[in-house]
Copies of this chain bind each other. A is one copy, B any other.
Amino acid sequence: MHGNGTAASSAAPSGSGSLAGAHSVEEILETHIKDPEQLREVQRVLYGFNCGHPVVPLQLPKESLAAASAASRPFDFRGYAFAAAPEELRPPRVVRIGLVQNAVVAPTTAPFAEQRQAIWDRVCEIVNTAGAAGVKILCLQEAWTMPFAFCTREKHWCEFAESAESGPTTALLQPLARRWGMVVVSPILERDGAHGDTIWNTAVVIGNNGNVIGKHRKNHIPRVGDFNESTYYMEGDMGHPVFETAYGRIAVNICYGRHHPLNWMGFGLNGAEIVFNPSATVGELSEPMWPIEARNAAIANSYYVAAINRVGTEHFPREFTSGDGKPAHKDFGHFYGSSYVAAPDASRTPALARDGDGLLVADCDLNLCRQLKDKWGFRMTARYPLYSDLLAAYTRPDYAPQIIRDPSL
């Protein structure tokens, strides 16, 4: 909602993917609303207050600003800090998290090894900047090593799939995690060699010592718009794991799972304090949902949500159709970036740029989660047995909805 004076650089101005020339909604609001009291009210109602004021910008370490400046191309690099009330019996538990959004680098017609290497190189610049910024838990975007080619239904893109535990991308990130003492969440296309070369959409969680802590497979698979992703992979079979890392209990809700309140609930029931939502979604399809769903999940489940979206428009070599009556085409629209962090007190950070790569850093005092649980009591008042019974009944084929018909009709 406020510019971040500590930004090393901003996304390159460009008509492509901008909001009528602006990088974000927040930039438009700040530029136009000249009355400071009215701006503050708009910030309060639409973006929430944390401890009585808009989420405050974070002073980023010099080393990280230098790293960002040394990158091959600029990216939107900003930080914010969420506070919690002081407690008597618990010290603050502030963890610095990072969110990465990035466009693909090489054209989708380039050899696959070249495409992947170019993305690896670019993202490693940002990962190292995050490390230099003191980030302790970093999350990359969904299927970050490749273009989001699932619209094409072409199977050769499966070549990008690799082992979660011993693939080259995990091997690339492990030394970086060790170097920076940083947990890294790496969402990739997984190939499970132990189960017949099956493909999954998977997030690998690498600990701060470089070991693979575990993985999570996308629970809900879209059949919408350009995507029936079940052309490539099916619903995850790993439940709702929460990873207990050196810096806090985290979970990963991959992309389309953000539309499912029950999926968010599952990670909450298992004790997550931060849920990352690595996504790949385009403007025409979902943009008005983007500022809503992550925040609702943070409120309802009393945890932080880090919402990450891919950025840019990806052009494919061969045309495909989208079931929308339009002619065959070679791209399906602009990934709108706009990554942000939502807190359990209904506050949020401004978004990263809609039109360029970015790294968002956020200090999150995890004490805020339990403070909000105590304040609002959503768990205590949730009546889980009522809903356990309801869902048990609903899943039976003969479920009779509870409908009261007007007897006078």
A→B interface (CB under 8 Å): 19-22, 25, 28-29, 32-35, 37-38, 40-42, 44-49, 205, 207-209, 211, 213-214, 219-225, 235, 239-246, 249, 256, 259-262, 264-266, 269-271, 286-293, 295-296, 299-300, 346-347, 375-378, 380-388, 390-392, 394-395, 401-409
The reply to whether A271 and B41 contact each other, CB–CB distance below 8 Å, is no
Known: A223-B377, A245-B409. 7 other contacts (CB 8 A): A29-B42, A211-B406, A213-B405, A223-B381, A244-B406, A259-B376, A260-B378
Closest residue on chain B to residue A270 by CB atoms: B401
22 A-B contact pairs sorted by A residue (CB < 8 Å): A22-B38, A25-B41, A29-B29, A32-B32, A208-B406, A211-B407, A223-B381, A235-B381, A239-B386, A244-B406, A245-B406, A245-B409, A246-B409, A259-B378, A260-B378, A261-B262, A269-B394, A270-B401, A270-B402, A270-B403, A292-B292, A296-B296
Checking B45, B296, B382 against A287 with a beta-carbon cut-off of 8 angstroms, the contacting residue is: B45
Measured between beta carbons, the chain B residues less than 8 angstroms from A383 are: 219-220, 235, 260, 262
Measured between beta carbons, the chain B residues less than 8 angstroms from A235 are: 381, 383
- Complex CA–CA separation, A385 to B392 (angstroms): 8
For the complex, would chain A's binding face be called helix, strand, loop or mixed by DSSP majority?
mixed
Measured between beta carbons, the chain B residues less than 8 angstroms from A288 are: 44-49, 346-347
CB distance from A326 to the nearest CB of B (A): 14
